[in-house]
Structure 1
Amino acid sequence: MKRILAHTAALLPQAALGHLGWLRGAIGATLAIAATAIATATVLGGYTPALPMIVAPMGASAVLIFNLPASPLGQPWPVIGGNLVSASAGLVAGLAVGAPWLAGGLAVGLAIGGMALARCLHPPGGGTALLFALGATGAEHWGVEHLWAVLANVVVLVACGLAYNNATGHAWPHRMVAPQPRPIPGAPPPFTHDDVTGVLDEWDEVLDIDPDDLLAFIQAVDRQRARSNGH
C-alpha cells in the first residue's frame, strides 16, 4: 500500500499523501466498508432486504476511523460501544413509542445519555439510534435480530481499522504523544496537564482532542519557538 501511495506522489497535492493524508483514509474507508458489507452478509447467511448487511452510520464511523484516527471519538471502544448502545436505544424507543417523530427524538436523546455513561461517545451513534427507531416504527418492524447486523458491522470495521491504520503508518488505537517539557533558560516554567485542564474547565468546553495530546502539542510549539529564537 505504501508503494502505491508513493507512485501517486507526483500527481496529487501533498495534503493527499502521508500517513494522515486524505488519500490513505479514502482508500482505507473504501476497502473497509466493502469488507464489512461482505463479511456481515456472509455471517447473516446472505443478503436479505429485511436484514441490512450494513447500516448507513458505518460510513460516518469509517470517516473517523480512517481520516481522524487520533480522535477520542473514533477509537475502537467508542465505535463498537457507541453504535451498539445507540442501536439498542433506537429499538427501545421505537418499540415503546409508535410515533416515528417522537421515537426518533427519544432514541437520539437516550443514545447520547447511554454513550456518555458508558464512556463511548461516538457521533455516528446518533444516526444509528435514529435509524433503528425509524426501523422499529416502520413497515418492516425492526427487532432485536437487527442488532446482529450492527454487531457484525462494528466488529469487522474495527478489525479493518486496526489492520489498515497500523499497516499504513498510524498506530490505532491512538497512542498519545508523551508530553516532554524542556526547561528553557530564562523562560517561564513549561505548561502542565493541570494548566490545560484548568483552561478547559474555565471555558466549559469539550474539545475533540485528548488533553495530553493538546499538552504535547503546546510543549512542542514552545520548543520549536525556542529553537527559532536560538535558545
Structure 2
Amino acid sequence: MRHTAKYLIKHYSFYFGGDQPGVSWAERFRACAGALVGLVLVFTVAKLLGELAGIDEWLMASLGASALLVFALPGSPMAQPWAVIAGNTLSALVGISVFLLIPEPLLAMPIAAGLSIMGMFILRCLHPPAAAVALIVVLGHISHYRYAFFPVMIDSVLLVTAGAIYSNLTGKKYPNRPK
C-alpha cells in the first residue's frame, strides 16, 4: 500500500517534535522572559552572597534546566518548590557522598545519578535537572558538603521565589496548590 506524502509527514513528524503541544507566541515570550529575568536575579543575588561569604562557588550549572521547568512548565509536579529545592539539594548531598567514597569517576557518576534518582523517588521530589547536579558534583570534584547548601539549595530557593513572583504577576499560578 502506498502512503501519500501528507500521511508520511504526519506519521513521522512525531520523531521530530510532532508530539509537542502547540504553544502560543505570547506564552513562549512569557516563559523565556521569565527565565531570563529569574536567572539574572538568581545569579546576581547568589554572586553577591558568595562575595559576602568569601565563597567562589555561587552557581550550579543545571539551574538553566530548572528554570525551564519553573518558568515554562509551572504546573508540572517536577517544577514545584519541593521538587526543585529538595531534589537539587538531595542530589548534591548524594553526589558529594559518592565522590568521597568512590574515587573512580566512571563508576561514581552513574552511582551518584542513580542514587539521587532513588532518593528523589523516596522523598517525592522528582526534578530531572537534579540528577545532573549529582553528576556535576562528581565531575567538579566537589568534596565539601557546604556546596549542597550554597550554592545549590540557596540558588534553588531563589529560583523558586523568582518563579512564583513572575508567574503570578503574569497570570500563571505557581506553585500549584492542592485541590
With normalisation by structure 2, the TM-score equals 0.81
8 Å CA contact 1:41–1:47 kept in 2: the answer is no
Unaligned stretches of 5+ residues in structure 1: 1-13, 179-231
Q: Which residue in 1 is equivalent to 2:144?
A: 143
Q: Which residue in 2 is equivalent to 1:159?
A: 161
Q: What is the CA-CA distance between 1:34 and the residue it aligns to?
A: 1.1
Q: Which residue in 2 is equivalent to 1:15?
A: 24
Q: Which residue in 2 is equivalent to 1:90?
A: 95
Which residue, out of 152, 170, 173, partners 2:172? 170
8 Å CA contact 1:28–1:66 kept in 2: the answer is yes
Query: What is the identity, as a one-letter code, of the residue corresponding to 2:120?
Result: M
Query: Identity of counterpart residues, as a percentage?
Result: 35
Q: Which residue in 1 is equivalent to 2:126?
A: 121
Alignment of 1:1-231 (within 5 A): 15-17=24-26, 21-45=27-51, 51-136=56-141, 141-147=142-148, 148-175=150-177
8 Å CA contact 1:79–1:122 kept in 2: the answer is yes
Q: What is the CA-CA distance between 1:46 and the residue it aligns to?
A: 5.7
Rg: which structure is higher? Answer: 1
8 Å CA contact 1:94–1:135 kept in 2: the answer is no
8 Å CA contact 1:84–1:151 kept in 2: the answer is yes
- More relative contact order in 1 or in 2 (CA 8 Å, sep 6+)? 2
Q: What is the CA-CA distance between 1:175 and the residue it aligns to?
A: 4.2
Query: What is the identity, as a one-letter code, of the residue corresponding to 2:129?
Result: P
Count the aligned residue pairs: 156
Inter-CA distance 162–116: structure 2 relative to 1 (3 Å threshold): same
8 Å CA contact 2:84–2:125 kept in 1: the answer is yes
The SS at the match of 2:51 is coil
> CA–CA distance in 2 between the matches of 1:52 and 1:35?
17
Q: What is the CA-CA distance between 1:174 and the residue it aligns to?
A: 2.1
Query: What is the identity, as a one-letter code, of the residue corresponding to 2:36?
Result: T
Unaligned stretches of 5+ residues in structure 2: 1-22
8 Å CA contact 1:36–1:157 kept in 2: the answer is yes
8 Å CA contact 1:103–1:134 kept in 2: the answer is no
8 Å CA contact 2:95–2:137 kept in 1: the answer is yes
Q: What is the CA-CA distance between 1:60 and the residue it aligns to?
A: 0.3
8 Å CA contact 1:108–1:130 kept in 2: the answer is yes
Q: What is the CA-CA distance between 1:47 and the residue it aligns to?
A: 9.8
